[in-house]
């Protein structure tokens, strides 16, 4: 996000940045608590509404800080309560995000890039091309604008929207810190999950960060030949190296890893595929999320319910915890692999 008229973007400032900013202005440290409360807890980005600042201070802030905020320019809602939003950043870049309702709890699925360079053939996001990485503030700001629009607390954040988080690692981890900081949004770290296609340097960076956010890995196959077809980054980060990185991550963090496995008819859903997966994951403390694949074209069809159950039974017999994910948002193209940035930022409103 570029500075506008020489002003620094408010969205990119963390608590320490605000403390330093107000110190330069000769203001007391508690001003940083006040501004972070307005921005990150109340979702208010209009400085004129921040009435606990004097008029003179508000004018100074307006002159030196850009209070632009991501805007929701359209949304659709599915019968299961899932909402998909078109979110526009201050520079005009548009991304899609999703808000998932699971009982009384809400989960925000945020995007880390506009488009995606990974190019998984069953994923719509990869077909729209790659525009740019989002900044830390733009990523975390999606959560805040969805929460403000929902009018209620969002309980979880999953970095599973558009893009690959660990091809934008610095901004991704920065966004996690913003959402987690008690001085900012204050979302518990165990309520934040980052999903990767298997970018090893990013996995290592997450482990080294000590943040404690959850890690999910989109595996989708247990042999290099098949995985390279389904997840092209496997050619750079093959399974042997990836599994070594995951075990290293687990030695550092002690955390269980979620394995995401999308099932496609006749591609990766056979009993032998399941046995291969069980062998690959042996010794890794993991939880396997089985996802009936979404049909986005390209010859990839969703596995039948019977095939999914048979696949799961193999994993359970091998001692793995496994769950079949309930499809949400498919009717509005808000499910896994269906988010994109529409040409010209077009969307429609439907409540």
86 and 102 assigned to the same domain: yes
108 and 59 assigned to the same domain: no
Inside any domain, residue 131: yes
336 and 195 assigned to the same domain: yes
Q: pLDDT 10s per residue in the chain (351 long)?
A: 444 446 899 999 999 999 999 999 999 999 999 999 999 999 999 999 999 999 999 999 999 999 999 999 888 888 888 899 999 998 889 999 999 998 889 999 999 999 899 999 988 887 778 889 999 999 999 999 999 999 999 999 999 999 999 999 999 999 999 999 999 999 999 999 999 999 999 999 999 999 999 999 999 999 999 999 999 999 999 999 999 999 999 999 999 999 999 999 999 999 999 999 999 999 999 999 999 988 766 788 999 999 999 999 999 999 999 999 876 544 444 445 545 555 433 333 333
Task: Provide the phi-psi class of 302: left if phi over 0, else alpha when psi is between -120 and 50, else beta.
Answer: beta
Inside any domain, residue 3: no
85 and 60 assigned to the same domain: no
Pick the closest to residue 344 from 91, 84, 92 (CA basis). Answer: 92
Inside any domain, residue 350: no
The number of domains in the chain is: 2
Inside any domain, residue 251: yes
240 and 260 assigned to the same domain: yes
CB atoms within 10 A of CB 249: 21
Assign residue 162 the CATH number of its domain.
3.20.20.70
142 and 218 assigned to the same domain: yes
14 and 136 assigned to the same domain: no
Structural domain for 27, as ranges: 8-66
From the candidates 12, 96, 138, 164, which is the catalytic residue? Answer: 96
Cα–Cα distance list, 196 to 27, 199, 225, 346 (Å): 42, 7, 19, 28
100 in Cβ contact with 115 (< 8 Å) = no
pLDDT at residue 330, as a whole number? 46
Assign residue 32 the CATH number of its domain.
1.10.150.530
> Which of residues 66, 95, 116 is at a domain's end?
66
45 and 86 assigned to the same domain: no
Inside any domain, residue 149: yes
Q: Which SS3 state, helix, strand or coil, does residue 121 take?
A: coil
> Which of residues 66, 85, 110 is at a domain's end?
66
Say how many Å lie between the first and final Cα of the chain, rounded.
31
From the candidates 36, 116, 120, 336, which is the catalytic residue? Answer: 336
Active site residue 96: yes
61 and 87 assigned to the same domain: no
> Which of residues 33, 49, 66 is at a domain's end?
66
224 and 143 assigned to the same domain: yes
What are the structure tokens assigned to 80, written together? Answer: 């299961």
Inside any domain, residue 304: yes
43 and 83 assigned to the same domain: no
pLDDT at residue 344, as a whole number? 38
Q: What does the chain come to in residues?
A: 351
Inside any domain, residue 191: yes
115 and 17 assigned to the same domain: no
DSSP secondary structure code for residue 13 in this structure: -
């Amino acid at each position: 996000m570029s500075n506008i008229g020489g002003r620094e973007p408010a969205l990119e400032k963390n608590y320490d940045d605000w403390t330093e900013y107000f110190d330069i202005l000769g203001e007391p440290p508690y001003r940083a608590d006040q501004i972070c409360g307005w921005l990150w807890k109340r979702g208010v980005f209009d400085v004129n509404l921040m009435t606990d600042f004097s008029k003179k201070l508000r004018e100074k802030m307006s002159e030196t800080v850009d209070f632009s905020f991501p805007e929701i320019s359209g949304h659709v809602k599915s019968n299961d309560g899932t909402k998909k939003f078109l979110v526009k950043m201050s520079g005009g870049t548009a991304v899609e995000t999703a808000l998932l309702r699971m009982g009384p709890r809400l989960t925000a699925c945020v995007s880390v890039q506009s488009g995606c360079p990974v190019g998984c053939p069953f994923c719509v996001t990869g077909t729209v091309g790659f525009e740019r990485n989002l900044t830390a503030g733009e990523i975390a700001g999606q959560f805040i604008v969805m929460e403000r629009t929902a009018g209620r607390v969002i309980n979880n954040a999953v970095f599973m929207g558009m893009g690959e988080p660990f091809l934008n690692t610095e901004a991704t981890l920065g966004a996690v810190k913003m959402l987690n900081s008690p001085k900012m949004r204050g979302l518990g770290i165990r309520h934040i999950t980052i999903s990767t296609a298997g970018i090893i340097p990013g996995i290592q960076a997450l482990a080294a960060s000590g943040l404690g956010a959850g890690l999910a890995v989109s595996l989708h196959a247990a042999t290099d030949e098949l995985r390279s077809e389904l997840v092209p980054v496997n050619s750079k980060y093959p399974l042997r190296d990836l599994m070594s990185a995951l075990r290293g991550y687990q030695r550092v963090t002690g955390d269980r890893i979620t394995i995401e496995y999308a099932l496609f008819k006749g591609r990766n859903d056979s009993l032998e595929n399941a046995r291969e997966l069980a062998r690959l994951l042996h010794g890794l403390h993991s939880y396997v999320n089985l996802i009936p694949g979404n049909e986005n074209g390209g010859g990839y069809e969703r596995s039948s319910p019977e095939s999914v159950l048979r696949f799961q039974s193999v994993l359970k017999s091998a001692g793995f915890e496994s769950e079949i994910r309930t499809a949400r948002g498919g009717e509005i193209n808000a499910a896994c692999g269906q988010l994109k940035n529409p040409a010209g930022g077009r969307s429609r409103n439907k409540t």
